[in-house]
Amino acid sequence: MLSTAVIEGVKAASLSPTQGRQCRMECRVPSPQHVFRSRYLTAMRTNQHAVSVLIAGAGPSGLILALQLARYGVRSMLIERNQDTTKWPKMDITNCRSMELFKSLGIDKDLRDFGVPQNYSFDVLFSTGLSEDGDLLCKWDLASPNAWKDHIKQQNDGSYPREPYQRISQALFEARMKTRIQEEPLIDLRFGFKLESYFETDKNIVSCVVDVNTGAIHKVQSDYLAGCDGANSQVRKDLGSKMIGGPVPGAMYLVHFKSSDLTALHRQGQFWHIFFVSGSVIISQDEVDTWTIHLPISLHTDWKLLDPLQCIYKALGGIHAPCPIKVDQILVSSFWRPSICIADRYASGSLRVFICGDAAHQNIPTGGYGMNTAVGDCFDLGWKLAAVIRGWGGESLLRSYEAERKPVARTNIERSGVHHQVHQDYVRWVSQMSARGATPDLEVGSALRQQIIDHINSHDGENKDHGIELGYRYNDSPVIIPETATTEPEWNARQYVPSTWPGARAPHVFLSDGETSTHDLFGPNFTLFDFSRDGVWLARFSGFYNALSTPLKTLRLSEEEHVHKIWQRDAVLIRPDGHVAWRSPEGSDQVDIEKILGFVTAYFIAIRRRAGSVSEVFFFSSSVSHNWWLAAVSPAMTSINVRLAPGVIRLYFLCFYFGIGASVWGYNIGILSSILVHPGWREALGDPSRPVIGAIVSVYYIGTLISYALISHPINDWLGRRYAALAGTGFVCLGALLQATSGGSTAGGTMISGRLFSGLGVAIVSTSVPLYQAPREISPAKKRGHFVTMNHVGFIAGMAIGLWVGYGMRFWQTDSGHYYGWRLSIMLEIIPAFIFGFGLPWIPETPRWLVEHNQKDRARSTLRRLREGIYSEDQIEDEFAAISKDVDEYHRSGRNWLFLFKEKALFSRLWRATLLQFMSQACGASAMKYYLPFLLESLGIFTHAALMIGAIEMTVKIAFTVLEMFIIDRFGRRNCLVAGCIVMAISMLINGALPLAYQDNKAANIVCIIFIFIYATGFSLGFGPTVWVYNTEIFPTAVRARGLNFASVGSAVASMIVNEIWPIGLAKLHSKVYFIFMAMNIIWIPVLFAFFPETKGRELEDMDALFGSVAKQVSDAEDESAGPLLADEELFRNSEETPPSRARDSDRDLSLIQ
């Protein structure tokens, strides 16, 4: 049984087969509204003792990560679906860099004792076959680990690793690591447990884990989740990360066996590998009696029908007849396909879920880069998780994991392809000739033989490319302090160039005692090497690292001139993984130590300059004349000590300015609700009945319906968000003009026409304003709720102003007894529309729209200004790359708006967004907006008082909508919606019940009014702003505009229905009409829990995990099958001079898959 301190389960024995299947089905769904829906899972108690890190998969990656975390005192749980460690012969070689890292963990000696003895060489033979006709063509001489140690001692120039490589099979590696982990009290290792699914809460990760033996389902709570669960990673699938690339052409049949027939096997000499020109391979696993062959077979072969013994003979025969040997035991046999692929992302947006090893990248075995890349992943992620958990590391330490490790994986994948092509070339040459073509007795065979020998000898980098293994640099890391004053050293795939360039692995150099390496001096955390004569750097650092709680080991090595010469600088700061975080500038000690330590631990991501003036803070255009309006506010603003980042101030200004546009929409609604009870308006329209009033109100929504469906999206795409909003305000002003001039025999028709035009315009404004404020438009994804809510603040403010103006105009009567105030109050709508429209040409367009219209330079410049002081330059570039990639994918896909209905994942979003818009008006809000004065009159309140109360109620809404700005990103979208429904349902109940129980009772009427105000707060904290926030974030940015338009149809339809029903219901049912909408609000609560997952804190890319993955157009760079790409022999030609992390971290840069 598992300890109940960490895991609690529900025994499958208590479930029927059907119920058991249901639990598994529910666990597979990653979204929180589904995972634990079963009553059996709901019954599980919340664990009181959480584990810090749950690691899924106990292969090499999981084992190493668990040990790395334990080294820092971090508790983890390690689960593995299999019953024990692997029996499969993988992981040919543990390279020099991995052995250096293992030495820091203290496991290097264990691995060397457990692996192949260190006196054996790593010779690689190339042969036509081991049968009697076979010949040895050539070989690569690779020294034994013992010989390597001697070379390392003799060549103390920094160009060699601290540790030589080691041969150890993965089966032996895992077995030994299992023993070590079982001795470690901080690691809870569990075999026979598999991860089914997980979801994130506000505080932790909740994982559904199944005991494969008993079928028991368990809930595990952890702060972080690491997916080390291999090529078919469940964590990666739930994360929504896609693998770019795929299998290479062909397949292999593997046989792992025992044989003591060394006479036959060593006929051409002792070996580590023999590559046969037929394409088959044999590997010596232990230099005793354990071997593995790989035999090329057709993809259509039923490998289960193959005879492993005959396959061994055939593989060893090469291009000749089968070579029988004595086989003592067949251990395992299987079919496999090599793949080249990489995950499009390594982490969740919340930085709580990560993938490592084969879950993140898969290599062709040539070069041995697969497991060795995974080792680097786990060391990188391990110390960063520990730093954050232990409290001395900031969040961007975790963000840097992908930024650092993904370029390394990409380079290693490419290089494994280079080595693979070396073998493919000679196999293809041989296959194009007869089976005897490579024997020396024919002239053509002799020529081919020499061609193969020359080819192999000139392409021997497979285990000699030390630049790949040791020379990778984390140039794009957000926690490495870049150096700009000097030129970066050259990078070469073959030759490692020792350097302390920031981001590089620090060189190994023996100190003057000839025994101690610089690597031996590295501490488990940060280490400062001070080579200065007076120890000035040690003194300067020691004053800060205690204050910042940064664990730092300091070393003064002023006498080590040889090391100093190779390390190049007086002070070098080394990270826990042995990479250089920072080095002192040449000839200067003028640096800010506090900022250095804060930067490399991610407490200070960027050194931000203070804004010198307001014009510098707000300036978007190269022309000062375009910013004349800023000059007016500059004196006032510069007198204030502004501490907000420039980008934040710009964002607030832009959202406020577009809030003016939203206020036009709000004023249009607010003023109508006041003129509906205005005597002058009633007189001008011939005292219309309530059904006619309902029609006048509803025709507005016909206009919005038409505009949402046909006009708003094209105009937003064609003109941009700014000018679409300007066009919308133009329609609204035209509608206002028509309404204000209504009179005479055509009064009704003119009024309806005006309302129709207003509806057309409002639909455009109500789409373009939140679209402008949306994430990946101008708002940062992390604060999208906060900024998008400002749209609704403007809307409510406009309604409040409209109601106050209507209230004021109620008292204006001419000497002749005419009421013209209602006409003027409608015309006043033009003023905010004019203010909004006048400034729009000088407001920047959104970066996304600019990218869509091939204005990338302007887009990048705008994005930099919007993010100045908020994000680092790298993060800004990452956001820009994400916008560009999304736009490119959309254009390549050939999609149009019909895909919102045809593609399941998009339709899943569309119907939810439409339903949410419908719910936002069907809750009664639409009627409250227009008929509030009528409702108050029904309570016996005079018209002028009803108008004043309505204006006060809307003013109160402003305050609560502003409050919503600051809580929506904290409490979540769904929680706000549910809380709003509860408040509105209670308010409707009171307003329906009290007039029935206490007719014509003044106290009851006062209570009803109070609860109308309470209803307003519920709407302001719920549906009002949250609908727009939720809908802007669930749609992929490529279809967001069209998605918002179609979804808004739900709002228009609900408003038409409610505005037709309400006046009739009020006349027929009186206060009982409130019960209808009370019931609606109650119904919405379970609907919200069932169909609307929480999106707070989720990256936009994470929405696939909640609503289904949106299929992407597969381009040449993202072909799911890499096979055809390998047919071109020029694809893998040498790329010796390309640094491994120079290019931006974009999947299109993956040269293997172009």
Give pLDDT, residue 542: 78
**Which among 376, 403, 418 is the end of a domain?**
418
Per-residue pLDDT band at 562 (split at 50, 70, 90): very high
Measured CA to CA, the distance from residue 415 to residue 412 in angstroms comes to: 5
Flag whether 1079 is in a domain: yes
Measured CA to CA, the distance from residue 819 to residue 827 in angstroms comes to: 15
Flag whether 261 is in a domain: no
Give strand ranges (E) for 939-995: none
CATH number of the domain at 518, please.
Answer: 3.40.30.120
Q: What percent of the chain has pLDDT over 70?
A: 81
Measured CA to CA, the distance from residue 563 to residue 557 in angstroms comes to: 9
In whole angstroms, how large is the CA radius of gyration of the chain? 35
Tokens of 810: 């109620």
Q: What is the pLDDT of residues 786-825, one digit of tens each?
A: 767 777 788 888 888 887 887 777 666 655 445 667 788 8
Mean pLDDT, residues 1131-1139: 38
Mean pLDDT, residues 176-182: 92
Other beta carbons within 10 angstroms of residue 93's beta carbon come to 23
Same domain? 820 vs 876: no
Give pLDDT, residue 1129: 35
CATH number of the domain at 724, please.
Answer: 1.20.1250.20
**CB contact set of 1048 (below 8 Å; sequence gap of 6+):** 704, 708, 763, 766, 767, 917
Mean pLDDT, residues 1010-1016: 84
Q: What SS3 class is residue 333?
A: strand
Torsion angle defined by CA atoms of residues 72, 77, 80 and 83, in that order, rounded to the nearest 10 degrees: 110
Measured CA to CA, the distance from residue 701 to residue 727 in angstroms comes to: 18
- pLDDT higher for 294 or 824? 294
Q: What SS3 class is residue 1092?
A: coil
Same domain? 78 vs 178: yes
- pLDDT higher for 517 or 685? 517
- pLDDT higher for 830 or 943? 830
CATH number of the domain at 89, please.
Answer: 3.50.50.60
Measured CA to CA, the distance from residue 1059 to residue 922 in angstroms comes to: 10
Q: 3-state SS string over 140-192?
A: ECCCCHHHHHHHHHHCCCCCCCCCCCECCCHHHHHHHHHHHHHCCCCEEEEEC
Q: Are 97 and 470 in contact (CB under 8 A)?
A: yes
Same domain? 365 vs 512: no
DSSP-derived letter for residue 242 is P
With 90 as the cut, is the pLDDT of residue 199 above it? no
Per-residue pLDDT band at 746 (split at 50, 70, 90): confident
Mean pLDDT, residues 680-692: 78
- Residue 206 has φ and ψ, to the nearest 5°, of -110, 120
Per-residue pLDDT band at 1124 (split at 50, 70, 90): very low
Flag whether 291 is in a domain: no
Same domain? 680 vs 829: yes
Measured CA to CA, the distance from residue 1117 to residue 1130 in angstroms comes to: 17
Closest to 736 in 3D by CA, of 713, 715, 716, 759 = 759
- Residue 278 has φ and ψ, to the nearest 5°, of -80, -15
Tokens of 448: 């081919």
Same domain? 1026 vs 880: no
Measured CA to CA, the distance from residue 457 to residue 141 in angstroms comes to: 11
**Residue 526 CA to chain centroid, in angstroms?**
28
Closest to 210 in 3D by CA, of 221, 226, 222, 194 = 194
Give pLDDT, residue 6: 37
Lowest mean pLDDT among 498-502, 504-508, 1111-1115: 1111-1115
The structure tokens 């808004």 sit at 1048
Flag whether 1124 is in a domain: no
Tokens of 520: 């031996």
Q: Are 449 and 440 in contact (CB under 8 A)?
A: yes
Same domain? 715 vs 806: yes
Q: What is the pLDDT of residues 977-1001, one digit of tens each?
A: 999 999 999 988 998 898 888 877 7
Q: What is the pLDDT of residues 348-389, one digit of tens each?
A: 988 999 999 999 999 888 888 889 999 999 999 999 999 999
- Which helix (H) or strand (E) segment is 982 a member of? helix 973-997
Q: Are 1009 and 936 in contact (CB under 8 A)?
A: yes
Q: What percent of the chain has pLDDT over 90?
A: 34
**What are all long-range contacts of 711-714, with beta carbons under 8 Å and residues at least 24 apart?**
711/760, 711/763, 711/764, 712/763, 712/764, 712/767, 712/768, 712/1041, 712/1045, 713/767, 713/897, 713/1041, 713/1042, 713/1045
With 70 as the cut, is the pLDDT of residue 81 above it? yes
With 70 as the cut, is the pLDDT of residue 440 above it? no
**Which among 382, 402, 418 is the end of a domain?**
418
**Residue 69 CA to chain centroid, in angstroms?**
24
How many domains, in total, are found in the chain?
4
Flag whether 1051 is in a domain: yes
With 60 as the cut, is the pLDDT of residue 233 above it? yes
Give one DSSP letter per residue of 862-916, joined into a string. HHHHHHTTTS-HHHHHHHHHHHHHHHHHHHHHT--TTHHHHSHHHHHHHHHHHHH
The structure tokens 């949410």 sit at 916
Same domain? 765 vs 677: yes
Mean pLDDT, residues 111-137: 92
With 80 as the cut, is the pLDDT of residue 631 above it? no
Flag whether 66 is in a domain: yes
Which residues partner with 701 through β-bridges?
none
Q: Which residues of 471-483 are buried (b: 16+ CB within 10 A; e: fewer)?
A: bbbbbbbbbbbeb
Same domain? 875 vs 930: no
What's the CA angle centered on 240, arms 239 and 244, to 5 degrees?
Answer: 120
With 70 as the cut, is the pLDDT of residue 437 above it? no
Flag whether 303 is in a domain: no
Closest to 782 in 3D by CA, of 1095, 367, 358, 1132 = 1095
Tokens of 221: 């709570």
Walk across the sheet containing 251-258 and list its strands.
136-140, 124-127, 273-276, 281-284, 290-297, 251-258, 329-336
Measured CA to CA, the distance from residue 194 to residue 917 in angstroms comes to: 40
Lowest mean pLDDT among 15-19, 332-336, 981-985: 15-19
Same domain? 862 vs 1007: no
Structural domain that includes position 850: 844-893
**Residue 1015 CA to chain centroid, in angstroms?**
38
Closest to 908 in 3D by CA, of 1110, 1145, 768 = 1110
Same domain? 546 vs 652: no
- pLDDT higher for 337 or 822? 337
Closest to 685 in 3D by CA, of 743, 738, 736 = 743
Same domain? 1087 vs 1002: yes
Q: Which residues of 1095-1110 are buried (b: 16+ CB within 10 A; e: fewer)?
A: bbbbbbbbbbbbbbeb
AA identity, residue 665: W
Q: Are 115 and 168 in contact (CB under 8 A)?
A: yes
Q: Is the dihedral of CA 1014, 1015, 1016, 1019 positive or negative?
A: positive
Give pLDDT, residue 829: 84
Distances (CA, A) of 290 to 264, 543, 694: 14, 57, 87
Give pLDDT, residue 1152: 26
Closest to 108 in 3D by CA, of 155, 183, 162 = 162
Measured CA to CA, the distance from residue 502 to residue 488 in angstroms comes to: 9
Tokens of 1152: 């293997």
Q: What is the pLDDT of residues 1083-1102, one digit of tens each?
A: 999 999 999 988 876 665 56
Q: What is the pLDDT of residues 879-933, one digit of tens each?
A: 888 788 777 766 665 566 677 787 888 888 999 999 998 998 888 876 665 555 6
- Residue 193 has φ and ψ, to the nearest 5°, of -130, 130
Tokens of 196: 């089914």
Q: What SS3 class is residue 481?
A: coil
Same domain? 529 vs 659: no
With 70 as the cut, is the pLDDT of residue 686 above it? yes
Measured CA to CA, the distance from residue 348 to residue 235 in angstroms comes to: 10
- pLDDT higher for 717 or 498? 498
Give pLDDT, residue 805: 84
Lowest mean pLDDT among 120-134, 570-584, 684-698: 684-698
With 50 as the cut, is the pLDDT of residue 613 above it? no
Q: Are 214 and 7 in contact (CB under 8 A)?
A: no
Mean pLDDT, residues 100-119: 93
- Which helix (H) or strand (E) segment is 56 a member of? strand 51-56
The per-residue pLDDT of the chain, averaged, comes to 79
Closest to 581 in 3D by CA, of 590, 589, 593 = 593
Q: What is the pLDDT of residues 1017-1047, one digit of tens each?
A: 888 888 888 887 888 788 877 677 778 778 8
Flag whether 268 is in a domain: no
Measured CA to CA, the distance from residue 449 to residue 439 in angstroms comes to: 7
Measured CA to CA, the distance from residue 882 to residue 780 in angstroms comes to: 13
